[in-house]
């Protein structure tokens, strides 16, 4: 698959989800408790940014 095709697959493919169209499959909703609230070593908030990817 070419990277350009990801626009169609991800952006256009995802748009319908926001319209309330049911997603496939189900979920037991595990891990939705949020885990531990962020606690950095210095007790502060992480620098604004984004999570790393692959």
Binding positions for another protein, rule: CB under 8 A: 1-4, 6-7, 9-23, 25-40, 45-54
DSSP letter, residue 14:
H
Please report how close the Cβ of residue 10 comes to another protein at its closest, in angstroms. 5
Query: CB of 17 within 8 A of CB of 23?
Result: yes
- Find how far residue 53's CA is from the centre of its chain: 11
> What is the SS3 assignment for 10?
helix
Please report how close the Cβ of residue 16 comes to another protein at its closest, in angstroms. 7
Please report how close the Cβ of residue 41 comes to another protein at its closest, in angstroms. 10
């Amino acid at each position: 698959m070419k990277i350009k095709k990801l626009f169609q697959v991800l952006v256009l493919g995802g748009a319908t989800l926001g319209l309330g169209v049911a997603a496939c499959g189900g979920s037991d909703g595990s891990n939705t408790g949020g885990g531990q609230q962020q606690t950095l070593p210095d007790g502060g908030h992480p620098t604004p940014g984004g999570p790393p990817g692959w």
